A and B are shown apart, each in its own frame.
Chain A
Amino acid sequence: MKRRDFLKKVIKAFFLTLTAFIFSASIYIYPSNIRKRRFHYIYLMDEDDLPKKGVRKIEFHYEREHRIVNSRVFVVAGNDKFTAFSPVCTHLGCLVNWDNNKKEFLCPCHGGKYNASGEVIAGPPPKPLTRLPLEIKDGKVYVGIKV
């Protein structure tokens, strides 16, 4: 083998090793504990405390991976029907607030607005607010979230 050909092979091997290294590095930086979020029903409040009308913000907490996570949900009272909305804006994940004067959900980050049915009325959000299932059992209200 000529020296030139040999060196060419060495350079090729070097770049192959480099590619393998970059590939391993990109696997290395990916966290190993990523799992699918599981669906859980979490106690929210007693049935008597459900709002008669309008929108109420309910704060609750749960435990995940030995850490207390504070969370909140908006319960909207309709005609004998309750809807729960996740407060997470569908744009980039900020938490929306309910403006009781304007009767709309407002996201503080980029001005996304939703009406009381969770539909987008202004701003950048691509989707309506996520509806969360509510379950009433033995006078207690549970909300279904992915934990």
Chain B
Amino acid sequence: MGKIFDWIDSHFGVKEPHKRFLQRTIPPNVNYSYCLGGIAFTYFLMLAFTGLLLSIYYVPSEKEAFKSIIAITNEVTLGWFIRSLHKWSANLFIVFIIFHAIRVFIHKAYKPPRELNWMAGVLGFVVAMASGFTGYLLPWDQKAYWATEVGTSMFGTVPLIGDYLIYAVRGGLDINGTTLIRFYSLHVLYLPISMVIILWAHFHMVKRQGIAKRL
């Protein structure tokens, strides 16, 4: 490991600029509650990895979506396992974001100079929730359909632009194959890309500003 990595690093030069970050001293009085954000991030990595695997078998079309989910669960070797990992990681991702936010809130780490990082975190939470919402439709079963009916109807309650939003999100008057494609596209392209950018900014600010001192 060492030799191969050193050879790569001698050409790529990634070790030196990251030394300050990777070999920094951890401030005193840090306990396990400071791991909550890291745990959430680990779930994000799990979601990205299992999501990539699921996308090999999933078919985002009106006729095939539900069938392909059944096939993933029952026919694909370890398909049930990958799908379950994705599902449970998604739930725990949200849970640990909330725990992390509570920890930050209790330690008042949202205060200046870290207020922008709090905002980035909130944005990340919104993207995580949006990913959950769009992912919920993809199995294309009754529960998914009605959850999306309810969820997209809420867009209609926005003043003035409600109708625009509801039709833009659904891709038509009703929920059908067009909605499924839209949600799939959001779920696998737009939202993950947004999430990566937000997390980069989040970690960048943690690196720059350090961890807030405890009260």
Contacts and interface: CB of A to CB of B under 8 A. Distances in A.
Interface of A: 26, 29-31, 33-34, 37, 67, 92-94, 109-110
Contact of A92 (B153, B172, B176): B153
A92 B150 contact: yes
A31 B149 contact: no
B172 A31 contact: yes
Nearest to A30: B168
A29 B168 CA distance: 6
Contact of B150 (A30, A34, A94): A94
A92 B167 contact: no
Contacts, number: 30
Instruction: For chain B, give the interface size range.
Output: 10 to 19
B164 interface: yes
Q: Which of A26, A34, A37 has the most CB of B within 10 A?
A: A34
Interface of B: 146, 149-150, 153-154, 164, 167-168, 170-173, 176, 178
A37 B167 CA distance: 13
Contact of B164 (A30, A67, A92, A109): A30
B168 A92 contact: no
B167 A31 contact: yes
A42 to B, nearest CB: 17
Contact of A94 (B149, B167, B168): B149
A75 to B, nearest CB: 24
A-B interface, 9 closest residue pairs, ranked by CB to CB distance from nearest: A92-B153, A92-B150, A93-B153, A93-B149, A31-B171, A30-B168, A29-B168, A31-B172, A34-B167
B150 A31 contact: no
Contacts of B178: 31
A33 B172 contact: yes
Contacts of B173: 34, 37
Contact of A93 (B150, B164, B176): B150
B179 to A, nearest CB: 10
Contacts of A34: 167, 172-173
Contacts of A109: 146, 150
Nearest to A95: B146
Contacts of A31: 167-168, 170-172, 178
A92 B171 contact: no
Given A29-B168, A93-B153, 8 more contacts: A26-B168, A30-B167, A31-B168, A31-B171, A34-B172, A37-B173, A92-B153, A94-B150
Q: Which of A30, A67, A93 has the most CB of B within 10 A?
A: A93
Contacts of B150: 92-94, 109-110
